[in-house]
Structure 1
Amino acid sequence: MSSLRTVNQQDVEPKNKLDKFFKISQRGSTLGAELRGGLATFLAMSYIIVLNPLVLSGPDGSGGQLGISAVAASTALIAALITVLMGLWANHPFALAAGLGVNALLAITIATTPELTWPEAMGLVVLAGLVMVVLVLTGFRTAVFRAVPDPIKTGIVVGIGLFITLIGLVNSGFVRRLPDEAGTTVPLGLGIGGELTGWPVLVFVVGLLLTAILVARKVPGAILIGIVVSTVFANIVEAVFNIGPSVDEAGNVNPEGWSLVAPSMPGWSAPDLSLLGEFSFGAFSSIGAIAASLLVFAILLSVFFDAMGTSVGLAREAGNVDQVGNIPNLHRVLLVDAVGVSAGGAGSASSTQIFVESGTGIGEGARTGLASVVTGVLFLAAMFLTPLIYLVPFEAVAPALVVVGFMMVSQVTQIDWNDVGAAIPAFLTFALMPFTYSIVNGIGAGLVAYAVIRTGQGRFREVHPLLWVVAIAFVFYFGMGVFEDLLGL
């Protein structure tokens, strides 16, 4: 385990009360690095304030509809509160906001289940979070966390690196999904028709090369400098050429437009917090106890292992682990994450989870919860200054995700490739994360494979009993459609 990167320096004398509270010097960081890291993380994940409302603001089963401005304000507020809590109580540079996996699940569920209203769907999220709080308080979630074998943990780090790299490449337009003859999406391709076209892609390429050069030259603040320069370049390009977003408010498509929002100057607006507390546990009567329980199970399993995988990857990248790979204040990290799930549902913002984009701040040097406090405060400001996020298009932060992805993938050398029984599960873990666009799928496949292969090797005693429980749970998770058919749901 000596290959684990750790930065804790127990004999370092704190410089002041702030340093002592957050252990800034002890973790090998500085005040400047924490501030830059918090800002970089916010810029990298602020897109969620725009994207989450677009995913969730559809019609519900009662004919109502979530308002975009209300979802945006709620998303920013919940992200701010939970991220600050993570920083102050758990002292890790992990930022949280509405998770894209669960909100997409909820949107699809609402669209296909007319009997289910938005408040009832959000009630399912609240319930999943409450169950997870119980699992944390009883020690079960922490025990599962520690039972995961080290090769899988390393595979998780590598997988998250590949995953955020793919997010950066796809959302910047450098890599695009290719439609097949049936209109569905199949393997990815370079640009449009195999060609890189459009100013937004150029902004990404210039930002990526600049950030890579700065990182290679070990320039302090390299990642943040790359984001700022790319943002300035993007705003100049938009002001001169008036490119616009890839899809405008009327639904018109512009393949060479900005992926999510076009750069523009911010303005003040009063937040609409009307959705806070708008949740209900009526799903158990609306769609039946079995169907509602299956949905809670799907949400629970997703958030349970998404947080585990993300926190492992981020903590290892930051060096915030001990010599055997354990994360300090792990119990608090998991409890804040669980509370965030329920808080997101209670605010109609969907499940609030640890974001992999926190790696951007870690790449900038963040090592403590002070960075999370900075990110949380910026989310709070964005609630009043929601258009602030329009200043930074995704193409300007995508280079940072790619570079941080490189940093995380470099840990692949820690896997013992001669131990095939552990290496194949680790490989499945990091391969499936980007290929299925899901951290949970990668973890599930890796753990199931590890349990089965070790048993097949006659080394079943190396499989922790909790891993068998988890493996069986993932079998149900992956076969959810089959079980629903068998139950007639």
Structure 2
Amino acid sequence: MTPIRIRLEQYFGFSAHDTNWRTEILAGLTTFITMAYIIFVNPAILSETGMPLAAVTAATCLCAAFGSILMGAAANYPLALAPGMGLNAYFTYTVVKGMGVPWQTALGAVFLSGVIFLALTFSGIRQRLVAAIPHQLHAAVGGGIGLFIAFIGFRNAGIIVPSVATTVTLGNLRAPQTALAIFGLLLIAVLQVLRIRASMLIGVLATTFLGVLCHQVHWQPEPYHLSAIKATAFHLDIPGALRIGGFEIIFVFLFVDLFDNIGTLVAVTQRAGLIAPDHTIPRLNRIFFADATATILGSLTGTSTVTSYIESSAGVAAGGRTGVTAIVTGLLFFCALFVAPLVGPIPTFATAPALILVGGLMLTGLGTIEWDDPQIGIPAFLTVATIPLTWSIADGLSFGLTSYALLQVITGRAQRKDWMLYLLATLFLLRFIYIAKH
């Protein structure tokens, strides 16, 4: 074993986390495959603002690569970053198309939100916000996100479909892509029973290959040149973002990214067993530094807010425990800068089984919640239920945290040392009132 390899293993803590290079590399590849859809989905959404598709594709790959590698190298966590789903929709449909804001100005707002995040990180405020969340709700957040991503997986597989009468209902299980997803689900389940760590990766690739044989993978590559990024890079309008409507836009970018990130962070670190015995998350300032820096880079190159991805749980389920997992994912995103069209054949029905089973694995922590104690059980239930039903990690966390704080105050159990908790709850209530008026 070479000295460099020994030093790297010591830096990333392979012995402490009982892992090895093979496991970490497979975990990084698994994470990349489950979130590779963002390479195509994010440009498709942002291009509706008038931003050039090729430029946004390059920006998406670049900031995902930079953010994931920075997260792995600096913070040593198996968390991958990319432009956030939901935030890109808000950027396009609410800010640009709804409010008539030019995309250059919207990028300026993203840049300012990243700078504010960086300032909050260095001041320690973001870390205090995480610490304000009662540790009893950590498992509830993880369970709620588990149901959320499992629901996404069921939807992508066609197992659950919309219904006018009942909201959702069982889909056509004989549909080719749904049948393929069920095959993948069964294959991954069998491999997990056999304790094969690469079960997620094998399942996704096998389902994709079978889909190709069954003519269910439709792929039309759209190659691009890296020089295309010039069409969006450094085109942001910061002064414009500070003018009319700027505060509201920046606040929404801040709020959703902050609490989506916190929810994802708590869920993934708990699933990986990386939360300290005192319920704190080590190196939290480095995690937030990577997130904020990636968002700033994203705005400079031409994409919406960058955040931690819950699909990182797939890599954790595959055994990833260190920053090497995130670095591998980032390197694959960097490679996608040059070969993005080749990632296209991985369809959603192939990644859906991985999302479903990863979601199921994330429910294990719910057994640690004191359900018999209403002060904990009720907020935990609201958190678990509202994350998937509102289709928002931030909204679910808001319901859980606000109900916990209200029960504390109304029953006379509030303590002065928990002032940040009550401040957060007040902000959440004001946000709910604001949403109701709009």
Question: Structure 1 residue 347: deviation in Å?
Answer: 2.1
Question: Structure 1 residue 285: deviation in Å?
Answer: 6.3
1:88-487 matches, cutoff 5 A: 88-108=73-93, 109-114=95-100, 116-179=101-164, 187-191=167-171, 195-238=172-215, 243=216, 262-264=217-219, 269-271=224-226, 272-274=228-230, 275-284=232-241, 288=244, 291-461=245-415, 464-482=418-436
Task: Give the letter aligned to residue 187 of structure 2.
Answer: L
Scaled by the length of structure 1, what TM-score is found?
0.85
Separation in 2, partners of 1:166, 1:220: 23
Q: Which has a greater percent of helix?
A: 2
Query: Do the aligned partners of 1:95 and 1:372 also contact (CA within 8 Å) in 2?
Result: yes
Moved more, 22-31 or 310-319: 22-31
What secondary structure sits across from 1:58 in the alignment? Answer: helix
Task: Give the letter aligned to residue 170 of structure 2.
Answer: L
Task: Give the letter aligned to residue 340 of structure 2.
Answer: T
Q: Percent of aligned pairs with the same residue?
A: 32
Question: Structure 1 residue 224: deviation in Å?
Answer: 1.4
Task: Give the letter aligned to residue 186 of structure 2.
Answer: L
Moved more, 334-343 or 447-456: 334-343
Separation in 1, partners of 2:89, 2:105: 16
1:53 counterpart = 2:43: yes
Q: 1:179 to 1:103 in 2, by over 3 A?
A: farther
Query: Do the aligned partners of 2:39 and 2:61 also contact (CA within 8 Å) in 1?
Result: yes
Deviation digits for residues 186-209 of structure 1, max 9, x if unmatched? 722221xxx324211111100001
Question: Structure 1 residue 268: deviation in Å?
Answer: 6.2
Deviation digits for residues 224-283 of structure 1, max 9, x if unmatched? 111121121112112xxxx4xxxxxxxxxxxxxxxxxx4549796423212122211243
| Alignment length (residue pairs) | 432
Structure 2 gap ranges (5+): none
Separation in 2, partners of 1:292, 1:424: 37
Separation in 1, partners of 2:213, 2:220: 12
Structure 1 gap ranges (5+): 1-13, 60-64, 181-185, 244-261, 485-489
Q: Which of 9, 26, 31 is equivalent to 2:21? A: 31
Deviation digits for residues 21-58 of structure 1, max 9, x if unmatched? 21122211111110000000000000001111111111
Question: Structure 1 residue 146: deviation in Å?
Answer: 1.2
Question: Structure 1 residue 178: deviation in Å?
Answer: 2.8
1:72 counterpart = 2:66: no
What secondary structure sits across from 1:92 in the alignment? Answer: coil
Separation in 2, partners of 1:346, 1:170: 34
Deviation digits for residues 125-146 of structure 1, max 9, x if unmatched? 1111111111111111101111
Separation in 1, partners of 2:267, 2:192: 20
Q: 1:455 to 1:363 in 2, by over 3 A?
A: same
Question: Structure 1 residue 343: deviation in Å?
Answer: 2.1
Separation in 2, partners of 1:480, 1:412: 32
Scaled by the length of structure 2, what TM-score is found?
0.94
What secondary structure sits across from 1:104 in the alignment? Answer: helix
Query: Over aligned residues, Cα RMSD in angstroms?
Result: 1.9
Query: Do the aligned partners of 1:144 and 1:466 also contact (CA within 8 Å) in 2?
Result: yes
Question: Structure 1 residue 454: deviation in Å?
Answer: 1.5
